[in-house]
A = this chain, B = another copy of it.
Amino acid sequence: MPRAARRKKEATIVDIARRLRVSAMTVSRALTGSSEVSEKTRKRVLRCAKELGYRPNRWARSLVTQRSSILGVVVPDIAHSYFAEITRGIEEVADKAGYKLLLCHSCLDPRKEEAEIETLLGTRVEGLLVASEQPLSSPEVFLKLQETRIPFVLIDRFFPGRELPSVRVDDVAVGRLATECLIELGHRRIAHIRGPRLSPAALRYRGYLAALRKHGIPVNSEWIVSGSFDIESGRQAMLKLLDKQPRPTAVFAANDPMGIGAVYACRDRGLAVPGDVSIVGAGNIEGAHHPNPFLTTVDWPRAELGRAAVTVLLAILANPEHQHTRVEIFTPRLLSRQSTAQAAQRGGKGASA
């Protein structure tokens, strides 16, 4: 039901042309800064445009130039600081390059994500940035997307076996850093709360395994449980871990919310963090450090991730034929804080429960 909105008509290029008794083309040239106009007429046009409150209509312009100067951004949830910071980085670079952002939510729903991408294509965005830690749409969606020849860059998305243009952190290193930090503190009974399969968390898991193996620590599958990236699932997973015999003395949670959940679970059971159990998260979410930096975690530059993604996208845009798959990988670093401590001495104050 397209109801025609009746509002004051915006001034057009033709209005200016009529007023100045020149052609619309001349006005267009003057406004876009073409060299084919005399300085005198340009000044007249600019003055008249200002008087009439003229604002170039980007749709009309885009229709003929085939360029929208708009990029589409799809995130699971902008209210999550992780994606908000990425988006911030995206906006920064995009703005400098003269692009605007059209923001969409995938809501962790694969169908919604696909629908949003479809809408964005209809809006003829010049490029697409799609972020999500979770395994959403299958690779097919993006392979199909590749055929439209509209450039896109994935953020934090990992498809085993398929390399698509993307920007992400070295997730294996995330898992390795977190685990090695615990090993160096003397821990040997190190548990892991996994994230969803097919997500970057799978790589963090690999990093966890690699670190253990490297230090000759046997893997105990009893100490590996799954969560779904939120606080509550972290708590549940940790409760399960605390029931195991023997009980792990340290835990690497695949992301910070689950790490926080693990802290809660310890409190529920009357265990001290880091006195009885050391906990490491991943992601350095805001909540983990104010007003008291608490959760030890692995950090990587979120805004930088966003900036890099746009940079890659702009590069593809500037050179469409040069479209070999680019993947940029960031190196994470450990933030040692207060949820980790030296492992208890054998036979000391440790394992009582």
Contacts and interface: CB of A to CB of B under 8 A. Distances in A.
A49 to B, nearest CB: 12
B260 A2 contact: no
Interface in A74-110: 77-81, 84-85, 87-88, 91-92, 95, 100-105
A123 B100 contact: yes
Interface stretch (A14-22, A57-65, A155-163, A180-188): A57-65
A78 B81 contact: no
A187 B209 CA distance: 55
Contact of A6 (B122, B287, B320, B352): B320
A106 B76 CA distance: 23
A142 interface: no
A303 interface: yes
B60 A8 contact: no
A317 to B, nearest CB: 8
Copies of this chain in its oligomeric complex: 2
A341 to B, nearest CB: 12
A289 interface: yes
Interface in A1-30: 2, 4-8, 10
B5 A126 contact: yes
Contacts of A2: 65, 67
14 contacts: A2-B67, A5-B67, A55-B122, A57-B63, A58-B122, A59-B60, A59-B123, A73-B103, A81-B84, A87-B103, A91-B105, A100-B102, A260-B290, A286-B287
Given A4-B66, A79-B85, 17 more contacts: A6-B320, A8-B149, A55-B118, A55-B121, A55-B122, A56-B122, A57-B63, A59-B59, A78-B78, A78-B84, A79-B87, A81-B84, A100-B103, A100-B119, A102-B102, A260-B290, A292-B352
